[in-house]
Chains A and B, each alone.
Chain A
């Protein structure tokens, strides 16, 4: 069974802390994504990677960075967490040419106090 694993389901951090969200997929997918999900806003793309060490900004990259050192792992980094980054973060992956067929992790709910 295909799997996208987000290591932290729930996190509580303080303003100004550095936050790492990890995502691992076991399907040998080229594409990996980080989305943010907020009520009434659907999913918004933060960053996207189509290969190791390659990344592209999504619609809302401000305040975030990413790292993809290995094909199976895609990390989202909040350098200095702020309260407006309290949200659900979803990682997804797909094959290079399967534009819309994404496989999602179960999400990481981050609360910044």
Chain B
């Protein structure tokens, strides 16, 4: 069985300050991990993915995430927030079979960026 916990349902930052969105996972296997972003009234878009290569993963729009097996974490970061980053972010875990059926979504973190 696998699960994913997003530790904050809401995060608020000022424009130009760092962003940290926290995600912990539980998996019996070595999982694949993903971050998706959803802007208001839009579908989800893939930000980045970890699939057992480099532990520091770079994604689109300046986001990156670090896989830490010892902490079972996959936190999403960005050095400097922009107003356009305001959205909901989902951490997703997949078992290593790559089966699309075996995706588990976190409950989401709403990011607010203040001017």
Q: Which residues of A contact B (CB under 8 A)?
A: 4, 31, 33, 40-45, 48, 50, 56, 58, 90, 92, 94, 96-102, 104-107
Q: Which residues of B contact A (CB under 8 A)?
A: 9, 32, 34, 36, 41-46, 49, 51, 90, 92, 94, 97-103, 105-108
Answer whether A105 and B107 are a contact pair too, CB < 8 Å, given A99-B98, A100-B32: no
Q: How distant is A57 from chain B, measured CB to nearest CB, in Å?
A: 10
Answer whether A107 and B90 are a contact pair too, CB < 8 Å, given A48-B101, A56-B101: no
Chain B residues within 8 Å of A42, by CB: 90, 105-108
Answer whether A31 and B43 are a contact pair too, CB < 8 Å, given A42-B90, A42-B105, A42-B106: no
Q: Are A90 and B100 in contact (CB under 8 A)?
A: no
- Could you pull out 13 A-B pairs where Cβ atoms are within 8 angstroms? A4-B43, A31-B100, A43-B44, A45-B103, A48-B101, A90-B43, A90-B44, A100-B98, A101-B46, A102-B36, A102-B44, A104-B44, A105-B43
Q: How distant is A105 from chain B, measured CB to nearest CB, in Å?
A: 5
Complex: how many Å from CA A104 to CA B90?
A: 13
Q: How distant is B31 from chain A, measured CB to nearest CB, in Å?
A: 9
Q: How distant is A91 from chain B, measured CB to nearest CB, in Å?
A: 8
